[in-house]
Amino acid sequence: MSSLSYQEKSLYGALIADLAVFVPYLHFIHQRQPPLNAIITAVTILIVANIVLQSVIAALTRNRLTDERDRLIRLRGYRAGYFTVVGLMLLGMAMLWVHTSLGQMQPSHMALHFLSVFYAILILAEVVKTVTQLVAYRRAI
Amino acid sequence: MPGLSNTIRELRAARSMTQQQLADSIGVTRQTVIAIEGDKYSPSLEVAFRIAQVFDEPLESVFQYRDARPASKRGK
């Protein structure tokens, strides 16, 4: 762990927080309809977990220097995350539209489903972004 | 390997300089120095000049460029 740079430690922290909140959330919504407070709770826990983890990592890391390679890797990650959001958003919208037009979903439930799907897409994009950056660091691009 | 290569490792060894010392003197992380030495990352012109200044060598003796494109596609 000591051989990792501050950015890598920070990315591992973010990935752990994302997965620790999102996997139980997915398990929860797989069993029942996602109530609004489940989404709000998941978002809140994720924000708090990220703040705590990043604070601990920053406190334990002496050298927090960021250079041009870090910025390049960050851009690569954001690009991967952006394409994930766009791709999954189109897929999610198409699925919502199909379910609604087939009468499998009441229009009153659509907003909540959209919110749930939107949250899932954002988390997946975040995971793709983080993994892309970690791979770039490991391959020393 | 085609593209940019360098002699940083040899220059550093000749001066008994560690990767961390070089990184500190040019304002990048040690991981970036490792990536540059391994020809995995091409530094910006500014960092390349800083490295050459640290070793007190001309830029072209620290970095070498080999054009991998076929001769027909190279500029005249």
pLDDT interval class at B75 (50, 70, 90): low
pTM of the model: 0.80
Number of Cβ within 10 Å of residue A1's Cβ equals 7
If you measure CA to CA, which chain B residue comes closest to A63?
B29
Report the 3 state secondary structure along chain A.
CCCCCHHHHHHHHHHHHHHHHHHHHHHHHHHCCCCHHHHHHHHHHHHHHHHHHHHHHHHHCCCCCCCHHHHHHHHHHHHHHHHHHHHHHHHHHHHHHHHHHCCCCCHHHHHHHHHHHHHHHHHHHHHHHHHHHHHHHHCCC
Residues of A in contact with B32 (CB under 8 A): 67-70
Interface test with B, best of A4, A67, A133 (most B CBs within 10 A): A67
Q: Do A68 and B31 touch (CB under 8 A)?
A: no
Mean pLDDT of B11-22: 95
Tell me what ipTM this predicted complex has.
Answer: 0.79
CA distance A69 to chain B (A): 7
Partners of B63 in beta bridges: B6
pLDDT tens column, A5-47:
888 999 999 999 999 988 888 887 777 766 777 888 888 999 9
Q: Do A68 and B47 touch (CB under 8 A)?
A: yes
Q: What sign results for the dihedral spanned by CA atoms A82, A119, A124, A67?
A: positive
pLDDT tens column, A73-125:
999 999 999 999 999 999 988 887 888 788 777 767 777 777 888 888 999 99
Q: Do A70 and B34 touch (CB under 8 A)?
A: no
Residues of A in contact with B38 (CB under 8 A): 140
Q: Do A70 and B29 touch (CB under 8 A)?
A: yes
Q: Do A67 and B41 touch (CB under 8 A)?
A: no
d(C-alpha A93, C-alpha A64), whole Å: 41
